[in-house]
Every structure is written in structure tokens, then in C-alpha cells.
Amino acid sequence: MNFENAVNIEDLRHCARSHLPRAVLGYVEGGVEDGIGMARNRAAFDTVRLVPRYLMDTSQRTQKSMLFGREYAMPLGVAPMGLSGISRPGTDLALATAAGRAGIPFTLSNVSNDPLDKVVAAGNGNVFFQLYPCLDRALMYATMARAADLGVQVLMVTVDVPVHPNREHNTRSGFGSSLKLKLPYVLEAALHPRWIIEYLAHGGVPKFRNLLSAETTAASSAREIAIAATAQLADDSQTWNDFEEIRRRWPGKLVIKGVMHADDARRAAALGADGVLVSNHGGRQLDLAPSPLEVLPAIRAALPESIAVMFDSGIRRGSHVVAAMCLGADFVFAGRAMLYGAIAGRERGAARAIEILKQEIDLQMGQMGCASTDDLGAKWVL
């Protein structure tokens, strides 16, 4: 199937799957251990019941949504996804460009592949930067300062990776820290010639261009860079003091990503966070974590209106965005749904993913009798 003919995100997923070798597909799609968290994310949406109201005039439906003082075309942004260049070279740029054109935020991970300055230029003022705290704090502060210098207004700090997750599919394929694929997976990759041609044409393993440590700049090969980069992440000694120090240094809006407990959300807000992104990392970290949809209402209730509550994990439909907003989210992010689009058709594929979700949100609102995303809330939920 061509991505242009995709009628939903699942169709884009099929296109993306056929492009990718199995080892890379495991990285993109996979969860952790038994995939329970991922299944839970999906199942949580299936339990939501939205009660429609009829004979409402919804002919002027609008999805325009505010976040941190800025208006976006819809209440949905692109979640940060590291190492996207392994799926297709230029994926960060493709996603940022499509998001910029659509008037929605795009978040660049600090373990991304396309350089931040180019991504910022492509994103039409809509680029957020996401930071995994690094063991080398000086490196981390330098990275933050660079993002601020480039005009990035929103920093997301991801706190849900204190240790490297147990992603067994990566261990099996060799798609781990050393990015050294095992032979059967190398042979299987031969069944994806388009992927191989692009991969080789762009110099093989993509570089982590936004993680500027002494090791990564001294490393001679992309593989060495990957090893150095992985060593920087997953700091199990982090504390709230580190978060406080990040707050002290970051001049713009600050979001904490991966919060799942109301007390943590309260604590982040007390330390100066402007927003909380409720997320279980798409089921990629703690397999037995709840779906963020289950903890979202309690987190919303714990925070004042002035703190933005955001949601991600499991978004595959416009109705999922609407459900998350009814349960307390002010804004929503999607990871894989957007990535499938970009893998399937680069910038145009990413634009198709955004368009599909936008249309689905619109139809969902029309069906419910809701004219504005501002009006979504608990009153719609049975």
C-alpha cells in the first residue's frame, strides 16, 4: 500500500513495517519485556465511554489549542523519539517540517540524529527540545544552553529512564548499545533493499548530533559515538535536586516527562515545572506500569490550572486524543503514530499521519456534539 492511500494510522504502520528490517522494527515498535504496558495503553482507551449529545450546532468546530501562551492548530504534538535516523535518514527533519507546516509542536530528543539548528529552522517556531539527564552534568548544561541560544522555548526533561530498559527484542537482534546486528538479522535486512540503499548512502549508523560530549566528538566511528552516547544516559543517581538545578538554568518553559504519580507531579510543580507530561514512555520502560490514562485524572486534580497537564502513550486515533482530553489532558503527544507516517513517506507521510489524526478528532467532536477542544472534559465521560 502507498502511504497516500492510508486511511488510518494502522495503514501507515503497515507501510512502515514493510520498509524496515526486523531489528529496526523491533526498536521502533517494541515495548519492554512482555509488552504488558503497551497492551495496557491500548486497552485503557477501549474502556473509555464518551456519551454524545445531539442537536448541538457544531458546524464551526475548532481544534485550536493553547499551550504555554502559544496557539496551535490542534491539541496534538510529536513526542520526542531518539535514533529516528536509523529508520530513515532525515526523519527528525521530516517530522519537524510536517509539524511546522501543520502548526503543531515537534519535540527533538537529545539522542536524535538531525542537528538541532536545522530542525529549529524547519519547525517554524514550533520545536521543543527534550533532554535525558546525562551523567556528565557539564555536557547536559551545555546542551541546554545551546538549545536556549537557538531560541527553543520549551524544554522537556524525561525522568522515566533511571536505568536502561530490558528490551529483549533489541538484545536478541544485537540492536543494543553497540548497534552490532547479529547475522540472521543482517541477512533479513537484505529483504529491505530500499532501507539498505538509504542507510548506506547516508553513511550507515546515524550520528547523535545533539549529544556533544568529549567522547562523542572524539569518537571516530558512528558506532563508537553510539556507545559513548548510551553510556551518558540512564543515570540512576538522579534526584529532585538535579531537576531543581535544571529549572534554575533553563530560561524558558519546563516540562517534566514521564510522571505517573500525583505526588511527583505536585513536587515538580512546586519546584517550578510549567507542565507535566503524563506518560509511560509508550510502554517502553516499566512493563507493569499503569496506562497513563488511568492516573491522568488524579494528576490533573492534584495540580492548579496554571500547570499544563499533557499526555502520551498509545495514541493511534483521534478519539484517543479526545478521550485523554476528557480525562484531564490540556494537550496530547503521539510518538509511533507520527513516526509510522515519516517512515512510510518522509515529510509527506508525516503530514498524512497528522492529517488523519486531525480529521479523526474533528469527526469525533462532531459526533459527540462538541464544537471546541476547550469544551472537552469529564462531563462527556460515562
Ligand X SMILES: Cc1cc2nc3c(=O)[nH]c(=O)nc-3n(C[C@H](O)[C@H](O)[C@H](O)COP(=O)(O)O)c2cc1C
Return d(Cα 92, Cα 107) in angstroms, integer: 9
The secondary structure of 114-150 as a DSSP string is S-HHHHHHHTTT-EEEEEPPPSSHHHHHHHHHHHHHT
Beta bridge partners of 215: none
Site residues for ligand X, 80-119, by CB under 6 A, read: 80-82, 109, 111
Residues 6-35 touching ligand X, rule: CB under 6 A, are: 28
Q: Which of 282, 341, 345, 349 binds ligand X (CB under 6 A)?
A: 282
Contact between 130 and ligand X by CB under 6 A: the answer reads yes
Interface with ligand X by CB under 6 A: which range of 9-17, 74-82, 203-211, 220-228?
74-82
* Residue of the chain from 31, 77, 133, 314 that contacts ligand X (CB under 6 A): 314
> Of the listed pieces 174-182, 201-209, 328-336, 365-373, which binds ligand X according to CB under 6 A?
328-336
How many Å apart are CA 344 and CA 106, to the nearest integer?
A: 18
Only one of the segments 73-81, 190-198, 200-208, 363-371 lies at the binding site for ligand X (rule: CB under 6 A); that segment is 73-81
Helices (H), 156-311: 168-173, 183-189, 193-201, 214-218, 222-232, 240-249, 262-270, 292-302
Residues 6 or more apart whose CB falls under 8 angstroms from that of 132 comprise: 109, 110, 111, 158, 161, 233, 234
Active site residue 281: yes
* Contacts (Cβ under 8 Å, ≥6 apart) of 343: 15, 16, 19, 20, 28, 87, 88, 91, 349
Q: Which of 335, 341, 345, 349 binds ligand X (CB under 6 A)?
A: 335
Identify residues 193-252 at the interface with ligand X (CB under 6 A).
Answer: none
- Binding of ligand X by 312 (CB under 6 A): yes
**Least Å from the CB of residue 12 to ligand X:** 13
**Cβ distance to ligand X smaller for residue 57 or 99:** 99
Active centre residues (catalytic): 281
Residues that bind ligand X (CB under 6 A): 28, 79-82, 109, 111, 130, 158, 257, 279, 281-282, 284, 312-315, 334-337
